[in-house]
Amino acid sequence: MTELKITLKAARVNAGFSQNKAAQKLSEYFGKEISRSKITGFEKEPEKVPMAFGKAFSEIYRIPMEAILFTNESTERYTLKEA
């Protein structure tokens, strides 16, 4: 059985965070300034998220890292059947 994964953006939204709030929480987590634009970039190109950020996202969004999709691939597959 394939486990469903959600996008990084969906994980943020499900946690009730804006990009600004996520940047603030990551800044606190790392002890240095993390910009909102960095969040935007990671959401657009999740395959570029460093492992340390993946762990941080998992912790601040309270979702297992394995449940977050760190690629641009869709988890849904559609098959068109001929009538």
With beta carbons less than 8 A apart as the criterion, state whether 11 and 57 touch.
Answer: yes
Q: Write down the pLDDT at residue 19.
A: 98
Q: pLDDT tens for residues 18-65? A: 999 999 999 999 999 999 999 999 999 999 999 999 999 999 999 999
With beta carbons less than 8 A apart as the criterion, state whether 23 and 17 touch.
Answer: no
Residue with tokens 């977050």: 68
DSSP state of 75: S
Q: Write down the pLDDT at residue 3.
A: 74
Task: With H, G, I as helix, E, B as strand and everything else as coil, classify residue 68.
Answer: strand
**Which two three-digit tokens encode residue 78?**
């559609």
Q: Write down the pLDDT at residue 4.
A: 82
Whether residue 2 is predicted with pLDDT greater than 70 in this model: the reply is no
Helix or strand run (H / E) with residue 6: strand 6-7
Where do the domains of the chain lie, and which CATH numbers do they carry? 6-69 (1.10.260.40)
